[in-house]
Structure 1
């Protein structure tokens, strides 16, 4: 669907409805960029959902620029200055530069921070010991003032990487202090901030910005976390300063790897349980799923395996389902030991797994639509 006058008028109404008393000081770069990023996040949801609007984000960025070009005042100049950095399309960034030049001819100067380089500084990461979640913190430096951004990403080899929290501030120490305090209270599950390589930050967040999980929000981008939508374009713009590395693809276990994994667990179980055919099939399912991207067990993997993977392949009365119930905790315990998971992290994993098993199987029939593996990629 092409951009038409109705779309343009709708966004002019939305942009024009910004209350004057809520507009940030044009000289406050972070506040202006956050405000601009918020509008772009809203536009992205519309561009993502064809049934809502169906026009491209690049087209909507030009509508944004047209709107502020028609309102020659310091706040409009500040929003256009932000667009020279935040617009996703290079053409949008160039158009914002030209719009600022036109405002200058009308006597409206850009903010003092316009044209400054916002340079990448220190990076850190914190998260859980299982690898299910990481928070990245990055400091940026400029003459007009420093900035700090954080992104918390949930990882899943089965679905998508999801941004579940984010923040922007001029005080990176505040962000780090919050996580040092919180993570320090549960050292069995969480580790405190440590230095991170910028390439790791790029790889750890890049996919989550585009491959938002249709399953988790039932296909509606408007249901994503509001703070993610507010800061999405700001983070994307800052990522241009990072090493542009390719995130690793999901790697399924080879036949040899699967055989080695299963043989190890089988040897562990010999003499402990009378194994039947259903158990052997259950072991294959357990080892295959937990062997994606290398053997690993975690609360997220446990949840997805029991609540998503099994319902996609089996009816609840299938003998393999009961075999999984028999073997699940022993399998997690053996794999945790074999993969050198910190012993202090085992009790929480066991607690979560037993909680999931309490309602397993919780489905009425096989549902192939529940499972999508390998997950599709838009990159």
Structure 2
């Protein structure tokens, strides 16, 4: 198969979808790989490293899209890329269709085969291609939250871990999945007083067993959320419904419960956000303030640590990408239920229910296109 890796052009997205080691694996299986010039530079991988591994370097993004049968990316195509995508071209990337009606309709119109990292799902319902970036984003949410609690950043001026004789910050984490667990671990490591909330009592029991003493578990419901955020210094939104919009657990009215300078970090913003007032921001302009509350809503948080993120992501995606290349997308999806669940749009049809429901568009069973 002919595989293309374009340079990411979303604002401050520094990751790349394939490492030189990944190129070598594809070459071993007889595939041809085209990499856009400088695609890996910001992740620490030079064009010469790719060339030495067997890739062909192309000068422009247009050339990559034009020649490739399968495009491997990190982030969803942006508007300037829509016209480059061809009919029946397989695009394997994070799409997050439920947060963008324009992207959804564009991919239907382009008649592309859209296989989304975020909905590839194992039999135990875990999301193997979302996990590594969720781990990075969860840890980063505390790192960024701690920074924006500083007074020059319009925060309360609180040190997350406090010092002897001074209370640490109070951190509330909404969601006990991968993001929430990693966020709670990091906040606890800083020395903060942490409350992690979830709707699953079984998950809370598990978290109670593995978390240090400065982490408290709490059942997630409207009353408890209101109580918890009222004296919080940092709130992390970490709720995910695979392939669908995240529910709004904190409404605009609830901001009045929080004191000015409180920081909210909505890691779910690329799925619509679980804090109603959050809208996607960039690493260039990461925050805004509503009712005195500092909102950090960067939709590609791991892009700020591209070396770590690229290695973590490609460790997870490469085995699946090899199956797609070796067998073709139809055979690979027929033989692997995990990959089949990654199909979101194909042959001009939405084949993932959460995406269709998000925009009130027609849904087709995936069997109709396989």
What is the TM-score with the length of structure 1 in the denominator? Answer: 0.22
Normalized per residue, the structure richer in strand is 2
- Asked which structure has the greater RCO (Cα within 8 Å, sep 6+), the reply is 2
- TM-score in terms of structure 2 length: 0.22
User: 1 or 2, which has the higher helix percentage?
Assistant: 1
Greater C-alpha radius of gyration: 1
